[in-house]
Structure 1
Amino acid sequence: MLNFGSLDESAQFRDQQKEKAGPVTIINTFVAPEGKEDEVVAAWTDDAEYMKKSGSLLSVQLYRGIGGSRLFTNVAVWKSTEHLRAALGTPEFASHLEGYPAGTVAYPHLYQKVAVEGVCEGE
């Protein structure tokens, strides 16, 4: 079962989803229980395949920490918070949370691009 934590107590993931914004990027870091890294990847793969079927997921990429790290980070771009909220709110998605090995913790947070002149483009 997947458990959730927060990296920013001032902006909880549940509250962020109430904002009307788009596109939005969810950056979700998972901590895999020791020896369960392959199970976390398998569970994440099931999630990603399900989410891709929604038609509202614009892109997705999984990253893995190096050097023996048990961290994985999912970076996914959605059309909007409304689309993300709809996908997360289905009974099918809820059943996917059971696929993660016990002790897995996720730290999801929503972001939007920031324009920094001469460095990177915004929306």
Structure 2
Amino acid sequence: MLKFGQLDESTHFHDQQKEAAGPVTIINTFVAPEGKEDEVVAAWKDDAEYMQRSGHLLSVQLYRGIAGSRLFTNVAVWKSTEHLRAALGTPEFASHLAGYPAGTVAYPHLYQKFAVEGVCDGE
């Protein structure tokens, strides 16, 4: 069963979902239990395929830590917080959480592009 942690105690993921914004990027880092990395990838794939069927997921990419790391980071762009919230709020998605091996912890957080003059744009 997937458990959730917070990277920023001042801004919880559930509170972020209440703000109307879009597009938004969810960056979710998973810590896989030792020896269960393949099971985490399989559960994540199942989640990603479900999210893609929603029609509101713009892009998704999974990253894996190197050198024996047990960390995986999902970067997914959604049309809006409303669309993400709707996908996360279904009984089908809730059933996916049980597919993760015991001890898996996820740290989701929502972001929007941020312009830094001379380095990157905010579009």
Distance 1:75 1:48 in 2: 11
Distance 2:97 2:121 in 1: 35
Tell me which residue corresponds to 2:66.
Answer: 66
Distance 1:116 1:6 in 2: 26
- Residue 43 of structure 1: how far off its partner (Å): 0.1
Identity in percent: 89
Tell me which residue corresponds to 2:88.
Answer: 88
Normalising by structure 2, we get a TM-score of 0.99
Structure 2 unaligned residues grouped into runs of 5+: none
Q: CA RMSD in A?
A: 0.4
Q: For 1:30-62, what per-residue CA distance to the aligned partner results, in whole angstroms no more than 9, with x for missing partners?
A: 000000000000000000000000000000000
Which amino acid in the other structure matches residue 57 of structure 2?
Answer: L
Aligned residues: 123
Distance 2:19 2:50 in 1: 24
- Residue 118 of structure 1: how far off its partner (Å): 1.5
Structure 1 unaligned residues grouped into runs of 5+: none
Moved over 2 A (4+): none
Q: For 1:89-121, what per-residue CA distance to the aligned partner results, in whole angstroms no more than 9, with x for missing partners?
A: 000000000000000000000000001111111
